[in-house]
Amino acid sequence: MSLSKRGVHGCIATLIAVTLVGACVLAPAPARADAVKAIWGPYEHNGVSLFPVYRELGVTIYEDDLHWDEIAPTRPRNVRNPAERAYQWPAEVDRAVAEANANGIQVALQIIGAPRWANGGRPPSWAPLQVHEYSNFAIAAARRYPSVHLWMVWGEPVRAKDFEPLTPSRPYVHLNARQRRAPHLYARMLDATWLALHHESGANVVIGGMSDTAASITTRQWIENLRLPDGRPPRLDLYGHNPFSARAPNLANGPAPGQQYDFSDLRRLSALVARFLGTPEDPSPRLFLSEWTVPTGVDNEFDFYVSPLVQARWITAGLKVAAELPQVYAVGWIHLYDNPPASMGGLISAAGTPKPGFSAFRDG
């Protein structure tokens, strides 16, 4: 079954089939709290801090974006100095980091979007022409936020519209030279950022890969082709993946079609990461599941949805899977509130009523 994040809606028959199949899944036993729970912002809702809610949910990592193109619309003279006047650091991230610190919650920041001065005057989705420009900004960000030690390198670069110059491919085929260009470029950017951030602080953890299901090239194609010019894999501390799923998470499930690597494929994904990105120092990098959600209504992100009760069952099942796999470092949820028609994968309805999924995430 296909799944399309930020795509068009599937047919009604598909929606009904997914809902009915999910409804037949029995609620698994409560998950052990082995994997860390994370969640994407915002830091407030209607002017009220959400960190008490995040604490109630058992969240220990708060995730947010740093849009490089918006923070540095003009080139700073000293790109590694966060105090440069050219930098326009977002007040909402400053506030979120401060609130997270006050609440004993870690922060993971994702650096995304290249400014025009760095990518040849192109839109933010285009990668920088020189990978050191990205790693230099990562140093400036680390100095701006010294309490932050979890750093995600770009978001969903497996999507052509999110990371250019990526050229799409069909599943199950070897990439040609043009299609290998993007993963090779990303590998160099990731490795340079790993080196820069580790030189800045030994406490920094670099999360790379950042793949997701049903993208422009498959997760397997992406991982197989993350190679530096000398053939080595790029250095990373955790492998980032968004395991969006149109089926209930269950490790007994067979592989998802189209090399999607959804939540049921996490054991297979871990083996793939170990095979192609493992090093003698770290033969099996752990998985940082940055984004996961299950929509409960028609929205603009996914081509399927389930009932609120099925959402809760899938959340319980997913957290159980994560607890059973020592390879999973964290599970990150995206969308606390529904925001129709953009997204319907929240734990709380747009009217402010917690869904059954809220309790499932809290108790998992």
How many domains does the chain fold into? 1
Round to whole Å and give the CA distance between 237 and 10: 36
Residue 34, in any domain of the structure? yes
pLDDT tens sequence across 133-187: 999 999 999 999 999 999 999 999 999 999 999 999 999 999 999 999 999 999 9
Q: How sure is the predictor about 214, in pLDDT bands with cuts at 50, 70 and 90?
A: confident
Give the per-residue pLDDT at 4: 53
pLDDT tens sequence across 333-342: 999 999 999 9
Question: Per-residue pLDDT for 20 more than 70?
Answer: no
Residue 309, in any domain of the structure? no
Give the per-residue pLDDT at 22: 36
Question: For the purposes of burial, counting CB atoms within 10 Å of the CB of 209, is it exposed (0-12), middle (13-18) or buried (19 or more)?
Answer: buried
Residue 298, in any domain of the structure? no
Residue 246, in any domain of the structure? no
**DSSP conformational letter for 278:** -
**Residue 233 sits in a domain of what CATH number?**
3.20.20.80
Residue 244 in tokens: 């969006």
Say whether 209 sits in a helix, a strand or coil. Answer: strand
pLDDT tens sequence across 309-363: 999 999 999 999 999 999 999 999 999 999 999 999 999 999 999 999 999 999 9
Share of the chain above pLDDT 70, in %: 91
Q: At what angle do helices 131-144 and 177-200 cross, to 10 degrees?
A: 30
Residue 215, in any domain of the structure? no
Share of the chain above pLDDT 90, in %: 90
Residue whose token pair is 């296909």: 2
Confidence (pTM):
0.91
Residue 9, in any domain of the structure? no
> To the nearest 10°, the Cα dihedral for 145, 150, 154, 159?
-150
Q: Show the domain range for 43.
A: 29-154+163-210+221-240+268-288+331-363
Residue 119, in any domain of the structure? yes
Residue 69 in tokens: 């193109």
Round to whole Å and give the CA distance between 351 and 364: 24
Round to whole Å and give the CA distance between 102 and 260: 38
Residue 52, in any domain of the structure? yes
